[in-house]
Copies of this chain bind each other. A is one copy, B any other.
Amino acid sequence: MSRIDGRAADQLRPVTIERGWSKHAEGSVLVSFGDTRVLCTASVTEGVPRWRRGGGEGWVTGEYAMLPRATNTRGDRESVRGRIGGRTHEISRLIGRSLRAVIDFKALGENTVVLDCDVLQADGGTRTAAITGAFVALADAVAWGRRQKLIKAKAQPLTGTVSAVSVGIVAGVPLLDLAYEEDVRAETDMNVVCTGDGRFVEVQGTAEGQPFDRAELDALLDLGVAGCGRLAAAQREALGEG
């Protein structure tokens, strides 16, 4: 009943959060959850999209993509196919919503932050690693904006922290932070996005095989909240706030 990599059911894979990975971006993080590696960059620009102008509020959005050989078999590039797939769309939207949940748009001012999350290597949990890393890149970008006087000195655009983790039921056992091989065998798959104080930003649970009952759902939520807490600690440590 032990996991493929010997972890306990409620144990995260090794997590690393490497800041300042890019010399160009206002915030940049190479995050890894085990063998899953995602490069998250935060790009700050003055101004907001047309539909949001004039209200004094900023905007934060996310874009997710995989390199073609991030996975075990090469996937066609979406740029070559000429269209973005449904999965990419869905995850990009999730990243944007998750980060906006901890932003005070008034405090951000009419500035836009784009979080690009590019998966360099995939081994399950790419979207949760992306959210967790993107938050740290966003924090660095906000700090940069403050130094550049784009953001007012006393403004606090970040209302909290946000992290995410996958959970799932494999062979009847609820597991935290699924690796790819566990993910494909999971009967139920859930992504939990939490703030640093343990509240929910997003909960997405899907029955891959049998429908799941309330007890299973509760067990997964418990695991997910605990995992997000440990990731929040890793974020604080990476930001030197531990």
A residues with CB within 8 A of B: 22-25, 28, 35, 39, 41, 43, 45, 63, 65, 67-74, 77-80, 82-90, 92-93, 97, 101, 114, 116, 118, 120-123, 160, 190, 194-195, 197-207, 210-214, 217, 221, 225
Closest B residue by C-beta to A26: B69
State the majority secondary structure of interface residues on A.
Answer: mixed
- A190 and B201 CA atoms in complex are apart in Å by 11
Q: Give the residue of B23, B74, B78, B213 whose beta carbon is less than 8 angstroms from that of A199.
A: B213
- A203 — which chain B residues lie within 8 A by C-beta? 190, 203-205, 217
Query: Closest Cβ of chain B: how far from A190's Cβ, in Å?
Result: 8
Q: Are the CB atoms of B65 and A77 closer together than 8 Å?
A: yes
Closest B residue by C-beta to A35: B23
Closest B residue by C-beta to A209: B101
Q: Are the CB atoms of B63 and A77 closer together than 8 Å?
A: yes
Among all A-B residue pairs, the 4 with the closest Cβ atoms: A199-B211, A86-B89, A78-B79, A43-B74
- A93 — which chain B residues lie within 8 A by C-beta? 86-87, 90
Q: Are the CB atoms of A68 and B77 closer together than 8 Å?
A: no
- A80 — which chain B residues lie within 8 A by C-beta? 63, 84
- A197 — which chain B residues lie within 8 A by C-beta? 211
Q: Are the CB atoms of B204 and A214 closer together than 8 Å?
A: no
Query: Closest Cβ of chain B: how far from A192's Cβ, in Å?
Result: 10
Q: Are the CB atoms of B24 and A116 closer together than 8 Å?
A: no
Q: Are the CB atoms of B63 and A68 closer together than 8 Å?
A: yes
Q: Are the CB atoms of A24 and B89 closer together than 8 Å?
A: no
Given contacts A24-B72, A39-B120, A79-B78, contact A200 B205 (CB under 8 A): yes
- A68 and B45 CA atoms in complex are apart in Å by 14
- A72 and B41 CA atoms in complex are apart in Å by 12
- A90 and B65 CA atoms in complex are apart in Å by 16
